[in-house]
């Protein structure tokens, strides 16, 4: 979510207030199960009034309707100066840039790309029509993510803590990396049942989530995303990680080796010694 929030803040300056002149769908898989014509019909000649975020979704609120962008694992946005640059560079064999969907404006073109085709761009008449958006829980970066609400969610779940944090219907926006990091900072074993937490432990986890996301967002904004560079990616995030990806390395709190286990098909990194 910090990465998506950084993308949204940067994207606002480029497209908010601009009108979509044309929609190009180079690879229809990027809009499935919707049809490319659905995206074009709803978005063409529509004004982007706001660029927002909900959970891990980028929201382009139009003067009529809504576009959602979900990056999944590898999706990204690319900015072209104009239609000519798009057509010269998009999906050509030599020195080309992979592009799935492009939104053309009077000033520039926004491309969405995901070579693995997990990411999606969808069109909706309104937010309530999107099952993905309506199923989201409280956003972890929002003012509504308060301790009392978090305590209620924790107490009502029998799932392991790591699985609980990844459940977007409970807390929206937490991914695998920041779930591991939050549990490390809170000194909590990811295998514990959520409802087993004492109130003071749940408060500690809430504080850790807020702190980890704030630090990650600061890192993602400095430097800010550069959509002009198709090879650009967030720099420096590995420097703030204390558990994720550090299997076998010493815990920076107690010195024991960081362990990796699988939970729900995802890798979990933690310290067996100091996470209880």
* pLDDT tens readout for residues 176-220: 999 999 999 999 999 999 999 999 999 999 999 999 999 999 999
- Domain harbouring 261, CATH code: 1.10.8.50
Q: Do residue 86 and residue 23 come from a single domain?
A: yes
The 10s digit of each residue's pLDDT in 51-104 is: 999 999 999 999 999 999 999 888 999 999 999 999 999 998 877 899 999 999
* 3-state secondary structure (DSSP) of residue 255: coil
- Containing domain of residue 29, as a range? 2-134
User: What radius of gyration do the chain's Cα atoms show?
Assistant: 20
In a domain, 38, yes or no: yes
CA nearest to 113, candidates 30, 38, 57: 30
d(CA 121, CA 113): 10
Q: Which of 102, 134, 166 is the last residue of a domain?
A: 134
In a domain, 276, yes or no: no
CA nearest to 164, candidates 132, 197, 133, 134: 197
Q: Do residue 221 and residue 126 come from a single domain?
A: no
Q: Do residue 104 and residue 167 come from a single domain?
A: no
Q: Do residue 179 and residue 259 come from a single domain?
A: yes
In a domain, 275, yes or no: no
Q: Do residue 114 and residue 155 come from a single domain?
A: no
In 96-198, alpha helices (H): 131-134, 147-155, 161-166, 176-185
Q: pTM score > 0.85 for this model?
A: yes
- pLDDT bin (cut points 50, 70, 90) of residue 233 is confident
From start to end of the chain, where are the E strands?
22-25, 48-54, 57-62, 66-70, 76-80, 101-104, 109-113, 120-124, 138-139, 171-172, 259-263, 266-270
CA nearest to 67, candidates 11, 120, 106, 22: 120
* CA atoms in the 13 A half-sphere facing the CB of 109: 23
Q: Which of 77, 100, 134 is the last residue of a domain?
A: 134
The 10s digit of each residue's pLDDT in 94-113 is: 778 999 999 999 999 999 99
- pLDDT bin (cut points 50, 70, 90) of residue 234 is confident
Query: What is the count of structural domains for the chain?
Result: 2
In a domain, 169, yes or no: yes
The 10s digit of each residue's pLDDT in 99-153 is: 999 999 999 999 999 999 999 999 999 999 999 999 999 999 999 999 999 999 9
């Amino acid at each position: 979510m910090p990465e998506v929030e950084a993308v949204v803040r940067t994207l606002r300056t480029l497209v908010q207030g601009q009108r979509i002149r044309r929609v190009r769908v180079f690879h229809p898989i990027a809009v499935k199960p919707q049809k490319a014509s659905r995206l074009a019909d709803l978005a063409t000649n529509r004004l982007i009034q706001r660029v927002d975020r909900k959970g891990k979704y980028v929201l382009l609120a139009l003067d009529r309707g809504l576009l959602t962008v979900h990056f999944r694992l590898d999706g990204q946005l690319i900015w072209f100066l104009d239609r000519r640059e798009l057509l010269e560079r998009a999906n050509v064999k030599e020195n080309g840039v992979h592009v799935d969907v492009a939104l053309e404006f009077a000033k520039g073109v926004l491309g969405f790309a995901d070579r693995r085709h997990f990411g999606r761009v969808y069109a909706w008449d309104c937010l309530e029509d999107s099952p993905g958006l309506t199923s989201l829980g409280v956003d972890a970066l929002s003012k509504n993510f308060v301790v009392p609400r978090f305590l209620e969610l924790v107490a009502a779940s029998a799932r392991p803590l790591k699985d609980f944090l990844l459940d977007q219907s409970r807390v929206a926006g937490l991914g695998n990396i920041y779930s591991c990091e939050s549990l490390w900072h809170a000194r909590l074993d990811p295998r514990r049942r959520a409802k087993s937490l004492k109130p003071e432990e749940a408060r500690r986890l809430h504080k850790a989530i807020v702190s980890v996301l704030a630090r990650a967002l600061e890192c993602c904004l400095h430097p800010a995303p550069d959509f002009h560079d198709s090879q650009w990616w967030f720099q420096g995030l590995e420097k703030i990680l204390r558990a994720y990806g550090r299997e076998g390395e010493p815990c920076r709190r107690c010195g024991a080796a960081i362990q990796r286990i699988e939970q729900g098909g995802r890798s979990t990194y933690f310290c067996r010694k100091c996470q209880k």
